[in-house]
Amino acid sequence: MRVLGIDPGYAIVGFGFIDKVGHKLTPVQYGAIQTEAHTPPEQRLLQVYESAGALMDKYKPDTVGVEKLFFNRNVTTAFDVAQARGAIILAAAQRGLPIGEYTPLQVKQAVVGYGKAEKKQVQEMVKMFLKLSAVPKPDDVADALAVAICHAHSVVLTQKTNEVNRS
């Protein structure tokens, strides 16, 4: 199963593709979609949408995990990120990809085992799980890989639960 994890953003969208075979997780490709600060908003959203779609077309994920938004301060930033997140979800939906959404707490719980883990702990666990030589940069990329790991584990559980419920 190929999983795409997304850490949505407006200036930087982290992405990470991993393959899950049995209990083994293998990184396929990861990086960031970046938009320029003084570009018109509609052009930035178009860039996020088209770039996300192109990545999905190239790496062909079976499913997509996206981090839910959590903002407690800057409402303007929250709106911008929410729009970019919507563009990414639209790109996945147009390709018929199932989407899982996770709060930062759920991602930390899945990757570290503790929902209030520090960012550094999450990054180190991503590095360990995927046997990477270094923590991916920028932070948004490591966060996207953490979402992919969380989603890879959750999808299997959801599938098993659905099988039991159908029986």
Question: 165 exposed, middle or buried (CB, 10 Å; 0-12, 13-18, 19+)?
Answer: exposed
Q: What residues are annotated to the active site?
A: 7, 67, 140
In whole angstroms, give the CA distance from residue 90 to residue 49: 8
Own/partner pairs for 75-82, CB < 8 Å, 24+ apart?
A: 77/10, 80/10, 80/41, 81/8, 81/9, 81/10
DSSP 68: P
* Separation between Cα atoms, residue 73 and residue 80, nearest integer Å: 13
Rounded Cα distance between 12 and 36, Å, is: 9
Distance CA 89, CA 130 (A): 25
Q: Is the peptide bond before 138 cis (omega within 30 degrees of 0)?
A: yes
